[in-house]
Structure 1
Amino acid sequence: MQAALDTFHEHKNVIVEYGIRSHFNIPKLHSIQHYVDAIWRLGSADGYNTESPERLHIDFAKNAYKASNKRDYTEQMALWLQRQEAIAIRCAYVDWVLARRPGTDSDVSEEDGFDSDDESDDAQLAIPRAVPTTTYSIAKFPAKKDKTIAWIATTYATDPALFVSALSTFLKHHFRNPILPGRYDRYNIYKQLHLRLPANRYLSSARTAHRIRALPAVPARQRRAEIPAIFDTALIIENPAEYHPSSGLDGLRPARIRMIFELPHHLGSFQHPLAYIEWFTPLNGPEPVSGMFTTRRSTRSNRPNTAVISVDQIARICHLTGKTTRKIDTSWTSSNVLDKADTFYFNPYIHVDTFTRQKFS
């Protein structure tokens, strides 16, 4: 190694003379000069450079950054690492306690009079696996705070009477003697939430993420063009007894998410945020040509059929496309087709995950 280094230093000026490099003031070239002496003194050079801890950059930097909301991420990354260390310490302690607990399999031998062949069938039963479920995440703080029903009706283009009626029905269902909402109540409103679906056995073991948005229109300002409203459609768990998280459409019904909000504290305490939705009719059988289910806007007394639900009833996002006749309505756009079309196709081809859950359920 020393001979190779001496040869390099003897001939390196050729590279400078031909203009390939202007100098060799490189930190690594300087550190190489100490390698031979360090090996004679300390042995193998493992760990003398950054190759061995390079993988820790992913564990401690990239994964920590992904767990943040990408704003003020340094503090969040440090907190995330502290929590990972706390979990690791706790897991190590639990493993240590379980290893010392008397009566485990390692403490029982045949000399104690126990024969594995004589154990009862009950002891052979495996612990059932937990059923995979959909989870959600939402912003720590709402985007809009203390908004009145009048503001909601104007901004979100909703009928205030329908919203109050739907919320009253929800409160009566979940509370014994509820305080019903009034016109002066104020609400905290979120822009969106993120769903994490169970792994699809036909694709991979990774979980799929969906984003559910309920964004009102933003009017034009000076040079800024108007931004149309976005109210995503989703499949709602209408019948929990028929619904299975990992496959199929049983127990699900499409709806349009019109608003995501918190229940005001004076009306009661609820574990999850709430969603104000407009129902579509239950999915009809698939058409023979397209293979797609159809649905329509659900109404009551010629008004939208609305409801307030807990956000944990949102199973997954869905794509509804307007069903056209031979003459296509050119006024349809992505922002108004859900209001103008009469019948809609439930599109299973928008995502491989959605397709496999429908076809192979």
Structure 2
Amino acid sequence: MGPNERQCRDHTVRWTDNYNTEMFERLHIDLAKDAWRATNHRDEFPQMMRWVTRQEKMMLYKVFQKEHQVEEELEEEEDAEVDTADADSEEASTENPSDLAQTFLPFERVDIYHQFKFKPIELSDGREELDAVKAIPAHPTKHQKARFDTVIVLDKGDAESTGVIGTRAARVKIIFALPKTLSERFRGQTAPSWWPSGPLAYVEWYSCFASSPDPTHLMYTVSKPPLTSKGLPQGKIIPLTQIRQSCQLAPCFPDGPSGTVPDDWSSNTVLETANQFHVNNWTGLYAYQTLW
């Protein structure tokens, strides 16, 4: 009889090699036993859930405090570096005072990517997904049309792997990475350690999600928010890790479902010309499981 077998009365029990229940036993202590001891042992389940939630919030707050402390230290280092750079380039910065807002950038170019692929968070069904997001500008000589995909972004701390709470729909306009060395103006110094190490994305926001989807088709509706005071779209630079998944936006007809499609709408222009969209959660199993 092998080491992973045991004779139990009338049958033999076998265990799978290299697997054990230690992790789940440990979680049972943290999430069940300790939580139960913190209750008054009456109607304990809601109390246990509240206790576990509070423990997670306190842990996240400690992480936030550490990150905030690191950010303050990095900002102090950044201010010191900027002061040094300004002293070295005083002549260049005073020649054209109207361009002072552009002189603080310590680099002259960035690396641009037209797409990135990633694996979204695996759900409980065990299916592994492969997602791709593209941000490709038009190229007239190659007859290449522009493509800027839409995504779901983890925008707030309460965002999760499913649902839309704490998330926001956005359109990826550019994917880039900061250089590892500064420009010659900064004597080719190595980029600060606090710079993002991975690629970034500039996204343009759609409106925030409503508290519930449309009761008819169970899809959320988003629209283009108003422009900023400078006449620019509302946007933000984010790490690629904040992009949870790609999504499909279906345009809403101006005159309702029975209306006609405007002449200036096409598959290549509808994201620019339409103002309101449904977030399609019927495009596949993963979207159906996450966009609710």
Indicate the TM-score class for this superposition, using the shorter chain for normalisation: 0.5 to 0.7
Distance in 2 between the 1:231 and 1:174 partners? 36
Q: Return the offset for 1:271.
A: 2.0
1:315 equivalent to 2:226? Answer no
Partner of 1:125: 26
Write the letter of the residue equivalent to 1:244: E
Higher mean alpha-carbon deviation, 314-323 vs 287-296, is at: 287-296
Distance in 1 between the 2:104 and 2:222 partners? 32
Partner of 2:214: 287
Note the aligned Cα RMSD (angstroms): 2.8
Write the letter of the residue equivalent to 1:238: D
Q: Which of 222, 229, 232 is equivalent to 1:303?
A: 232
1:343 to 1:126, Cα distance in 2 relative to 1, 3 A: closer
1:256 equivalent to 2:175? Answer no
Distance in 1 between the 2:164 and 2:219 partners? 13
1:229 equivalent to 2:146? Answer yes
Q: Return the offset for 1:181.
A: 5.2
Q: Which of 169, 186, 199 is equivalent to 2:122?
A: 199
Partner of 2:198: 272
SS at match of 2:215: coil
Q: Return the offset for 1:190.
A: 0.9
Q: Which of 153, 158, 161 is equivalent to 1:242?
A: 158
Partner of 2:261: 328
Partner of 1:342: 275
Partner of 1:100: none
Higher mean alpha-carbon deviation, 279-288 vs 264-273, is at: 264-273
Q: Return the offset for 1:184.
A: 6.7
Report if the CA contact (8 A) 2:164-2:209 is conserved. no
Write the letter of the residue equivalent to 1:271: S
Report the count of equivalent residues. 188
Distance in 1 between the 2:167 and 2:196 partners? 23
Cα deviation, 1:214-273, whole Å, max 9, x if unaligned, reads 11112145xxxx22111101011100x21122x222211011111111112336432211
Equivalences for residues 94-133 of structure 1 within 5 A: 125-126=26-27
Write the letter of the residue equivalent to 1:193: F
Q: Return the offset for 1:175.
A: 4.6
Q: Return the offset for 1:313.
A: 0.7
Write the letter of the residue equivalent to 1:217: A
Distance in 2 between the 1:343 and 1:193 partners? 27
Write the letter of the residue equivalent to 1:197: P
Distance in 1 between the 2:274 and 2:104 partners? 33
Q: Return the offset for 1:312.
A: 0.7
Report if the CA contact (8 A) 2:135-2:172 is conserved. yes
Write the letter of the residue equivalent to 1:233: T
Distance in 1 between the 2:114 and 2:74 partners? 27
Q: TM-score, normalised by structure 1?
A: 0.47
Partner of 2:108: 185
1:186 to 1:198, Cα distance in 2 relative to 1, 3 A: same
Percent identical across equivalent pairs? 24
Which residues of structure 1 form unaligned runs of 5+? 1-94, 96-123, 130-171
Higher mean alpha-carbon deviation, 258-267 vs 178-187, is at: 178-187
Write the letter of the residue equivalent to 2:26: L
Partner of 2:129: 208
Q: Return the offset for 1:358.
A: 3.0
Q: Return the offset for 1:303.
A: 2.2
Partner of 1:11: none
Distance in 2 between the 1:339 and 1:358 partners? 23
Q: Return the offset for 1:335.
A: 1.4
1:322 to 1:174, Cα distance in 2 relative to 1, 3 A: farther
